[in-house]
Amino acid sequence: MRKPIILLCCTAFLFQACDRLKKKKPPVIRDTTITETTSFNNLFFDSSAVNQFLIAYPEYAEYKQQFIDFYTQRNFELAWFDSTGLAEQAHNFYNLQLNYINNIGDSAIYHEAFQKIYDSLNAIQFKPESGNPIVANAELLLTGQFFKYASKVYGGSDIDASELGWFIPRKKINLTALLDTVIGKKVTTPEQYVPLNDQYKKLEALVPVYVSKQKLETTDTILYVAKPLRQGDSADIIVQIKNRLNLLQPDIPLDSSGMFDTSLVRATKRFQRAMGLYVDGAIGNKMIAELNVPLEKRIQQLLVNMERMRWMPPENDSNYIVVNIPEYKMHVYDSGRLAFDMNVIVGSAINSTVIFNGNLKYVVFSPYWNVPESIVKKEIMPAMAKDKNYIAKNEMEITGYAGKIPIVRQKPGIKNSLGLVKFLFPNNYNIYFHDTPNRNLFSQSSRSLSHGCIRLGEPKKFAQYLLREDSAIWSSRKIDSAMHLAKEKWVSLKKPIPVFLVYFTAWVDKNGVLNFRKDIYGHDEKMATKLFSK
């Protein structure tokens, strides 16, 4: 997965408070050099037309300030017309908007009045004149539609991301500056307006492909099997399975027989990898359940994840770490390229891992585990009541009391629940990366098992990567030694590394294969309700 990237709720209030203390926005300076003599098109309209337009079309009222800023700075010169009529850029934008509506199936930005006036002006030859109310109305409709289109395509739907468990600051778009930049340029693709997330573009291209597949989809359900089907088996149900795989993976053609042959083994393994299932080439009920997911549901999954891609902030650093929670994977990027992947264990559905970003600053070898009070209440105290030696047996100690609640920490060592090393990116959620003594859990295909923190499959490898610039000091042997101390040892990184904990259930991997994962926390379902309820 290439760069699937890039305010906390508790800081949002502080930011809002700071905004109130800031000085008022400075007035937009009118460019007085734009006059009827210097104008490239010699076409202007009266400033009062903006307010009249917004009264007539209140659906654009949210962009009032952008209208005022944009036209004030250009002295109310027309932007979408030249001396021959609609300018080339107006046609280019119209085609971009039409392609978006048709390819994505999103009619939210369609505007009937805009369509009618565009069609009428496009069908005739005329010479625009300053002050012409029809031209002014068409001009402002084009600008309003641009603001609406750009807001949606580049910024996403007007959804409070925090309501959906997303606390990574959303990408912000300056609509006025964007429009000012593109006017006069021959823009024919959305990428020329604002660079789009690479994953967004890949998912967008697959939406019409899956819409076409949906037209060929059958309504029959593949029944569950009593035992997994394997190579050499023969059954009528295999015909159904082959037909479904041919629709989903046409690049691996399968015949119409009921025989489980080598081609079906290959197609099965490919499908299992794409769905995050255990890859063994045998067809069991977990795979059949994924084959039975309606394509309408898959299309919605693509659109939901495209929406999240729009929210990702631009990358400001070429070194960063991404953990995709539903994938159970960490992706480490170095100098803009994927350095390595790593299996991880994430929070369970009850103790879900929070979606946010931070900066990794510290490596802590041989850590203590300061047991959270919630775990002390739910797990430690009941265990202590059953076994008076529970604390000593588990290498723990009580360092004090908060009322009647003991303050418990676990000593460094092989029994420590954090393993032999942890990695801190300070945050308000008390989430971090750490080792674990339960190595066998990484072999499971579903790994939402923790209390919320991220357990790493290869913690030593990660420590070596973080400390690579000091490899003379932090050799492999030195790291091994630091991981087996009697007391914890803190090491500060020379330069903090950005960390993104994200939630994507659909993406295209580095081999160009579309992947889907289960909505383990129900975030897709909540977003789909907001996006598709209308």
Residues with a catalytic annotation lie at 434, 453
Return the sign of the alpha-carbon dihedral for residues 353, 357, 363, 364.
Answer: negative
d(CA 460, CA 456): 9
Neighbouring CB atoms inside 10 A of 188's CB total: 14
In whole angstroms, give the CA distance from residue 69 to residue 483: 59
CA distance 220 to 211: 18
Please state the separation of Cα 56 from the chain's center in Å: 37
Spatial CA neighbour of 450 closest among 425, 422, 417, 415:
417
Phi-psi region of 113 (alpha: psi -120 to 50; beta: other; left: phi over 0): alpha
CB atoms within 10 A of CB 86: 20
Which residues lie closer than 8 Å to 98 by C-beta, 6 or more apart?
none
Q: What is the SS3 assignment for 225?
A: coil
- Rg of the Cα trace of the chain? 29
3-state secondary structure of 145: helix
Under 8 Å between Cβ of 287 and 272:
yes
**Integer Cα distance of 294 and 443 in angstroms:** 29
Q: Which residue has the tokens 């006025």?
A: 176
Residues 6+ apart with CB under 8 A from 93: 142, 145, 146, 149, 187
**Which alpha helices (DSSP H) does 183-294 contain, by range?**
190-193, 198-216, 236-248, 262-275, 285-291
Q: Is the CB of residue 428 less than 8 Å from the CB of residue 10? A: yes
Residue 457: both structure tokens together: 């499959």
The pairing of strands 454-456 and 448-450 is: unpaired
CA separation for the pair 188, 448 (Å, rounded) = 44
Strand-pairing partners, residue 344, are: 456
